[in-house]
Amino acid sequence: SQSTRPLADRSPEEIEAFLAEQRAAHADLAARGLTLDLTRGKPSSAQLDLSDRLLALPEGHVDADGVDTRNYGGLHGLRELREIFAELLWIEPEQLVAGGSSSLVMMREVLVDLLLKGGVDSERPWSAEEKVTFICPVPGYDRHFTLLEWLGIETVTVPMLETGPDVDAVAEIAAADPSVKGIWIVPTYANPTGSVVTQEVAERLASMPTAAPDFKIFWDNAYAFHHLTEDEAKSADILSLASAAGHPHRPIMFASTSKITYAGAGVAFVGGSVETVQWYVGHLGQGSIGPDKLNQLRHAQFFGSAQGVRDHMVRHREVIGPKFAEVQRVLEERLGGLGVATWTEPTGGYFVSLDVLDGTASRVIALAKQAGIALTPAGSAFPHSDDPRDRNIRLAPTFPPLEQVTAAMEAVTTCVLLAAAEKLHG
Ligand code: PLP
């Protein structure tokens, strides 16, 4: 039909008319004085409410080993909570540390420790190298990239595909350059693409030859259990794969309950080989005598078991699933067939990644701002905020109520259409 014919196939007169229509639609939108926000990958208050039983816990203050959790000590974190998450992450409890509320803090700690001290398999501290480089699959998580920039670590990008990072490109870069010390991977429902690393890609990452002997995979499993459908993706068992390939210290795993219980008062985890865990805890002990074990105890009591975590995630899915469905509905209805955008259909995680016509992402974001819709700044999902094609926009629908997701998405699609019409009109 007329309304779904690709814009690129239309005559100059038709584009002219289409442009006029979208300008009018955008002016109407701007006149409505909306204030909407799709930037925040945060749980909504309805999601936080799901965990409010935590506020009445823990019952008592003694853990399963008889330790008084009110006191100092226990750098590895509470055993009963580590057992629950070790089962979910398919590792042994000895391979997992439970700490404070933020896994991002742990990523920073690990990077700083690597720079100042070197890893268990390093010849020298990374800071003693002429240069340190990380492979960054893009689009990816902005804070991974800003952390590297802050530490003076160089970045080299590879495309993020539906199956994980472009592993041929990764293997080539890692084999060629000894300054390449690591890679960021969000293996399950990646931020922002929703990609899930396949078993084959994980095997390659675990076994590929690397020029640096102490190459690290930062396996950030922030969304490991955050399914949006009943088709629950299973994260590859990276530690076993790396061990079997003779690189047991290569992966360092991160996870947290930020999007399971409370983003501001959850529990974060770091895992790896037993030697890696000892290495981490050794450095941690220079600045801590123990974590908040009362918070860990109430989490252990709240979940009860690994199955308790899985059951809890179903309740999250019931809250956020309809919001993701709404994003898909509006995108398909308003942009489908027009050839002006492609987008991901994630089966888990917190984001939808929208690619608009090359060179129009920053224009779309500016047009949205004029209409009162906050979108993540252009380029955010790339190191140095540099999206070379200026086409990627990250959408985060979990925080706003459903009706605001609808209104914001309708507005965003108007901006996408207007920017596309402007570009094709020239
Ligand atoms: N890793 C990824 C991929 C994320 O998207 C986020 C939050 O958005 C985090 C880590 C932050 O985790 P935490 O709350 O445990 O610091």
pLDDT one-digit tens code per residue, 35-53: 999 998 999 999 999 999 9
Q: Mutate which of 40, 141, 160, 295 to test ligand 1's pocket (most atoms within 8 Å of Cβ)?
A: 141
Distance CA 336, CA 157 (A): 30
pLDDT of residue 4: 81
54 DSSP assignment:
G
Q: Give the CA dihedral 203, 204, 210, 215, nearest 10 degrees.
A: -50
DSSP state string for 401-413: -HHHHHHHHHHHH
Q: Is residue 256 in contact with ligand 1, taking CB distance under 6 Å?
A: yes
pLDDT of residue 403: 97
Q: Is residue 380 in contact with ligand 1, taking CB distance under 6 Å?
A: no
Interval between CA 51 and ligand 1 midpoint (Å)? 19
- Provide the CB-side half-sphere exposure for 350 (13 A, CA): 23
pLDDT of residue 6: 95
pLDDT of residue 3: 72
Interval between CA 272 and ligand 1 midpoint (Å)? 18
Q: For tokens 């509905």, name the residue.
A: 329
pTM of the model: 0.97
CB 270 within 8 A of CB 115: no
Interval between CA 142 and ligand 1 midpoint (Å)? 10
Interval between CA 140 and ligand 1 midpoint (Å)? 12
pLDDT one-digit tens code per residue, 68-96: 999 999 999 999 999 999 999 999 999 99
pLDDT of residue 1: 44
Distance CA 272, CA 56 (A): 33
Q: Which residues of the chain have pLDDT under 70?
A: 1-2
Q: Mutate which of 97, 102, 104, 184 to test ligand 1's pocket (most atoms within 8 Å of Cβ)?
A: 104
Q: Is residue 191 in contact with ligand 1, taking CB distance under 6 Å?
A: yes
Interval between CA 43 and ligand 1 midpoint (Å)? 12
Q: Is residue 103 in contact with ligand 1, taking CB distance under 6 Å?
A: yes
Joined tokens for residue 113:
């420790």
What are the chain's domains? 2-47+311-425 (3.90.1150.10), 73-304 (3.40.640.10)
pLDDT of residue 426: 85
Interval between CA 315 and ligand 1 midpoint (Å)? 20
Joined tokens for residue 106:
């742990």
Q: Is residue 257 in contact with ligand 1, taking CB distance under 6 Å?
A: no
